[in-house]
Structure 1
Amino acid sequence: MTTTRDLPGLDVSKATLDLLEAFEALARRWTEKINLVAPSTVPDLWTRHIADSAQLWPLAPQATKTWADLGSGGGFPGLVVAILAAEAGAPQVTLIESDQRKCAFLRTALRELGIKATILDQRAEAAPPQQADVVSARALAPLPTLLPLVARHLAPGGTALLPKGRDHATELDAARAAGWTFTAEALPSRTDPSARILRLRDLTHG
């Protein structure tokens, strides 16, 4: 188990850090019963999942009022964002997850941590459009498959924050070949040198 509790690029209060550590402990316990994260990543859960999720927070526009996380799974990045949002007083976070066991975990985490967020236990393509200022999705689908879901829930003028691995450039090319246009920034990941955070704006299709 890692003993480093850093959040590169972020300055948060001790109270928020304590909440994130409590969430980490809860995720470890539940992962023994259900697959919240890949078992191989559990020993380094803080860096691989919590810090990796938290780095999305400062990339959102300052005026963000609503945030939708697609395929929230074990709460990465959505529940981490909700914890950071609690300190900031905004935005309102919605977690969309179709796996009922993972939804049970998310509800338990929110209750035990005293954090507010909305949980929609539906597939992203079936959930009511959220018109969110920010849409995030982590390890959900390749970009050509993911962008229709992002577009469904993104408000006009909104921002998508999508963590991607070493094949991010190939995924961007494939999305453009599938008819998507957007303004894209591939921002360096603070937790994985080969990964990027794709920040997409002006998303349209056709």
Structure 2
Amino acid sequence: MTTVSRETQEKLERFADLLVQWNAKINLVSPKDLGQLWPRHIQDSLQLADMIPAGATITDLGSGGGFPGLILAIATDNPVTLIESDQRKCAFLREAARICGAKVTVIPKRIEAATPPEADIITARALAPLVKLLGWARPLLKENGFCLFLKGIKAQDELTEASRDWHMTSTILPSRTDPGGAIIKVSDFKRVV
């Protein structure tokens, strides 16, 4: 598990309390997951924090309930752009960022329509197949940037499929929170022509 300072732990606890309150009105996480909120969502997102250099800018695709983007903003104190098309989820993300003192910009648009500044790192969790994520991430990523995508048991299959359309440098790292999960790190990627 990723260890954090007492101050960060307190902010994460405030986030978790707020998420539980809001989840009664809008579906941020599955109600059956609320009992596993810390290991399944918060710790899963936190494991990326160790891979993020201080000061790196992050754009999180399809932020939903704040995983992993808002958790990373709280844990790293780095500036994070959250792209989320659901207006109700955007309201939650703004309120959670305010309460937790996170450096967050929320873009209430579909990923294809968003035009944030290019970021050093692109993240996503449980959003889309890798081949689709790469298409969304490429125009949003700085030249020497990289992507961190939290994936499930089919990470290798997704990487194999994406390699038909994309040249890339990639690594699959085991998840520290889910024995069937993985983190796909991708850099230097461009479409096959």
Q: TM-score, normalised by structure 2?
A: 0.95
Q: 2-side partners of 1:77 and 1:54: how far apart?
A: 7
SS in 1 for 2:121: strand
Residues 137-181 of structure 1: CA distance to partner in whole angstroms, max 9, x if unpaired?
11110111111001121111101000010001110111112x201
Partner of 1:196: 182
**Preserved contact between residue 164 and residue 195 of structure 1 (Cα < 8 Å):** yes
One of 100, 114, 123 as aligned partner of 1:127 = 114
Partner of 1:51: 43
One of 13, 19, 40 as aligned partner of 1:27 = 19
User: Once the 2 structures are TM-superposed, how far is the Cα of residue 193 of structure 1 from its aligned partner?
Assistant: 0.6
Runs of 4+ in structure 1 deviating by more than 3 angstroms, as ranges, are: none
Query: What amino acid is the match of 2:64?
Result: G
1:41-80 to 2 correspondences below 5 Å: 41-60=33-52, 62=53, 64-80=55-71
Whether 1:105 aligns to 2:87 is no
Residues 27-83 of structure 1: CA distance to partner in whole angstroms, max 9, x if unpaired?
1111111110122211100110000000011122x2552110010000000110110
In structure 2, the gaps of 5 or more residues are none
In structure 1, the gaps of 5 or more residues are 1-7
One of 76, 91, 95 as aligned partner of 2:82 = 95
State how many pairs are aligned.
Answer: 192
SS in 1 for 2:80: strand
**Preserved contact between residue 74 and residue 101 of structure 2 (Cα < 8 Å):** no
Query: What amino acid is the match of 1:35?
Result: N
Q: 1-side partners of 2:158 and 2:27: how far apart?
A: 26
Query: What amino acid is the match of 2:106?
Result: I
Whether 1:185 aligns to 2:171 is yes
Q: TM-score, normalised by structure 1?
A: 0.89
**Preserved contact between residue 64 and residue 133 of structure 1 (Cα < 8 Å):** no
Q: CA RMSD in A?
A: 1.2
**Preserved contact between residue 119 and residue 141 of structure 2 (Cα < 8 Å):** yes
Partner of 1:15: 7
Q: 2-side partners of 1:41 and 1:166: how far apart?
A: 19
